[in-house]
Amino acid sequence: MKAIESLLPPVIPTLMIGASGAALFHAIGFPAAAVTGPATTVAAATLMGVRTQVPLRLCDIIFIVIGTQIGSTVTPEVISAAMTWPLSLFVLTVTLIAIMILVPLCLRLIFGHRPVTAFLSSAPGHLTFTLGLAADLKADVPQVVLIQTVRVFLLTLMVPVLVSLWGVTGTATFAGQGTSSWIDLAIVLALALAVGLGLKRLSVPAPLLIGSMAVSAITHGTGLVSGIAPNWMTLAAFVGMGSLIGSRFGSVDRLLLRNAFLAGLMSTLVGCAVAALGAYIAALLIGLPPAALFLAFAPGGVEVMAALAIETGLEPALVAAHHVFRLTVLGMLLPMFALRYRQK
């Protein structure tokens, strides 16, 4: 393995391991295999000492493809259904606040974490902003990084399983749309890149994903373009996303990782329980499947949850919209919550 690593750039074995994991998980029938399989196998390889990496430029391509695919689901029916979303967005806000109170409390009581470290370790998103606050507030930064990494990894594995147990039947989200012509696809991808880079200059979270979602939604919703990206392109993006998650376990202290895994597991379980309760309440209010709303409420990264929404066929536009809203609200709540720790 070491000889192979010395001859190839790390991205190649990383994606090969990820693709093998996707095939394995698909063969055993694991939910969302194209994402969960690569995340697991690449994480295992990374922890065994294999040098894994997904370059930033490739990450940008992955986010653009996933965002474009989500935007292509916007139809007049989706727009009509969106009129009921404010109710679920309100429940999502309450759920988010509950997670930000309950999870840090559990970390303090069970693992003895300092209040500021417990708070930042459990923040359900905005990792870059969270790490900036961790340094400014003198939290245990390595602990925060590891718990957050474990949390995202476990959510990637657990959410598809929980969704499948909640009665998801695997709707054919893209049935009948057909594949886009290469001209339409090139136009959407070029516009998505331009808008995404513009949002990046404005420091918008997940700019390329949000930019491509917006461009694709507008162009598909107005009929300027039609169809979806080829299946191979979407599948490759899923494998890349899962591989990216798994590659984040490089160069970590094993003892620290063990403690962080237990804390991250508890954070994930408590966060998922609160999200499931909120999703069930929202489902009663707006009449959508609880499984779809659970995916929309799950406290994971917007890119990962958006990919899972496409892979499971559960209302991708609704899921993406809720996670973008969650990041917006979280961006306001984090500084407000952090003030109490700055004053101590």
Looking up tokens 């191979």, which residue turns up?
232
Q: Examine the pLDDT at 155 and tell me if it is beyond 70.
A: yes
Rounded to whole angstroms, how far apart are CA atoms 243 and 240?
Answer: 5
Looking up tokens 């376990």, which residue turns up?
249
> Tokens in use for 340?
């109490």
Q: What backbone phi and psi angles, to 5 degrees, belong to 139?
A: -80, 175
On whether the CB atoms of residues 15 and 240 are closer than 8 A, the answer is yes
Rounded to whole angstroms, how far apart are CA atoms 174 and 74?
Answer: 11
Instruction: Return the bridge partners of 179, or none.
Output: 228
On whether the CB atoms of residues 103 and 147 are closer than 8 A, the answer is no
On whether the CB atoms of residues 95 and 297 are closer than 8 A, the answer is yes
CA 71 to chain centre: 16
Looking up tokens 């003198």, which residue turns up?
138
Rounded to whole angstroms, how far apart are CA atoms 124 and 291?
Answer: 19
pLDDT of 175-187, one tens digit each? 445 677 888 888 8
Rounded to whole angstroms, how far apart are CA atoms 341 and 344?
Answer: 5
Looking up tokens 């919703």, which residue turns up?
221
Predicted confidence band of residue 214 (pLDDT cuts 50, 70, 90)? confident
For the segment 73-90, the average pLDDT, to the nearest whole number, is: 73
> Tokens in use for 17?
């391991």
pTM: 0.70
Q: Which of 92-96, 97-101, 246-250 has the lowest mean pLDDT?
A: 246-250
On whether the CB atoms of residues 195 and 219 are closer than 8 A, the answer is no
Side chain identity, residue 246: G
For residues 159 and 252, the model is more confident at 159
Burial class (CB in 10 A: 0-12, 13-18, 19+), 81: middle
Rounded to whole angstroms, how far apart are CA atoms 41 and 87?
Answer: 39
Predicted confidence band of residue 127 (pLDDT cuts 50, 70, 90)? low
Tell me the three state secondary structure of residue 179.
Answer: strand
Q: What domains appear along the chain, each with residue ranges and CATH number?
A: 2-342 (1.20.1530)
pLDDT of 48-68, one tens digit each? 888 898 898 998 898 898 888
